[in-house]
Structure 1
Amino acid sequence: MKAVFPGTFDPLTMGHLDLIKRASKMFDQVTVLVATNTSKKAMFSFAERKALLEQEIAFLPNVNVIAAPKDLTVNVAKKIKAQAIIRGVRDAQDFEYEKAIALMNRHLAPEIETVLLLTDARYSFLSSSIVKEVALFGGDLTGLLPDKTAQALREKVKQYD
């Protein structure tokens, strides 16, 4: 059974990585989809995000990464013949947001199920936006991001000085 896990991953957090690892145990194949969120301005390019993700998930043999900057998640899921879309939920606000997206995806592709995974409590406060803010002001990124991603973010924020 195949699943797709979409997100902007700008940058990949430990919460994202935890969900990817857990999904890799539930599905035969997991495709991490670097996607566009039109309400967010990305710090990393699609190529940079894809490359960082590939490095950080290299230890998971049944996980791969693709980028689709101008496509709907359900269209990508159909193309790769995925039966499920995986989404993470941190709190009630996330749930309401994800529920609306899941219902739209069901409308567009009723054959594809959405699977909501609850975020591990250790990461329930994490978001890429918060982590970027911490990095921009020189805060400690320990435990928030995988190592290579943390280093890439430190390098990226130097461009904003």
Structure 2
Amino acid sequence: MRALFPGSFDPVTQGHQDVLRRAALLFDEVVVCVMVNANKTGRFPIDERMGRLRAAATGFGNVTVDSHTGGLLVDYCRRGGIDVVVRGVRGVSDLDYEMPMARMNRELAGVETFFIAADPALAHISSSLVTEMSRAGRGPA
């Protein structure tokens, strides 16, 4: 089964890497995709994010990295023959955000969502937090 792990990955975090590693062990193929929102300015260029994701996927022959600009996630899934979307969740607030999208993806295209609970040691990490700490000179981005 092919799975899609979408996100902005701006920047790629240890939490993203953990979800990717675990998804790669569960699915036949995982496409990790940088989803580009034309209305947002990312901190890192798309090519750099994709490079960091490729580095995170080293050793997993079943992981590919791609990007997608515009259009719905389910359209990308249809074109790629992808049946399931993988989402990492850190807590209830993430589930509250993700559930309506999961329902819509299923209704629009029959695409299921597979939630991977964050490793408790990494659950506090977010791209926003990593960015803030980096700007303050307190950690790598």
SS in 2 for 1:61: coil
**Higher alpha-carbon Rg:** 1
User: Which residue number corresponds to residue 92 of structure 1?
Assistant: 92
Unaligned runs of at least 5 residues, structure 1: 142-152, 154-161
Give the TM-score of the pair, scaled to structure 2. Answer: 0.93
CA contact (8 A) 1:32 1:65 kept: yes
CA contact (8 A) 2:36 2:67 kept: no
Matches within 5 A, 1:27-38: 27-37=27-37
Length, aligned pairs only:
141
After the TM superposition, which parts of structure 1 deviate over 4 Å for at least 4 consecutive aligned residues?
A: 37-40
SS in 2 for 1:86: strand
CA contact (8 A) 1:84 1:113 kept: yes
CA contact (8 A) 2:37 2:70 kept: no
CA contact (8 A) 2:38 2:70 kept: no
Q: Distance in 2 between matches of 1:97 and 1:68?
A: 21
Give the TM-score of the pair, scaled to structure 1. Answer: 0.82
Does residue 129 of the first structure (1) align with residue 109 of the second (2)?
no
Q: Distance in 1 between matches of 2:94 and 2:38?
A: 17
Q: Distance in 2 between matches of 1:100 and 1:20?
A: 22
Q: Percent identity?
A: 37
SS in 1 for 2:94: helix
User: Which residue number corresponds to residue 77 of structure 1?
Assistant: 77
Deviations 1:9-40 (A, max 9, x none): 00110101000010011100000010035775
C-alpha RMSD of the superposition: 1.5
Structure 1 position 69, deviation (Å):
1.8
Deviations 1:49-98 (A, max 9, x none): 11221122122111010000213211111111111100111011100100
* More displaced stretch, 125-134 vs 69-78: 69-78
Matches within 5 A, 1:102-141: 102-110=102-110, 112-141=111-140
Deviations 1:97-120 (A, max 9, x none): 00011011112112x211111111
Unaligned runs of at least 5 residues, structure 2: none
* More displaced stretch, 36-45 vs 81-90: 36-45
Question: For residues 15 and 39 of structure 1, do their structure 2 counterparts lie closer, same or farther at Cα, with a shift above 3 Å needed?
Answer: farther
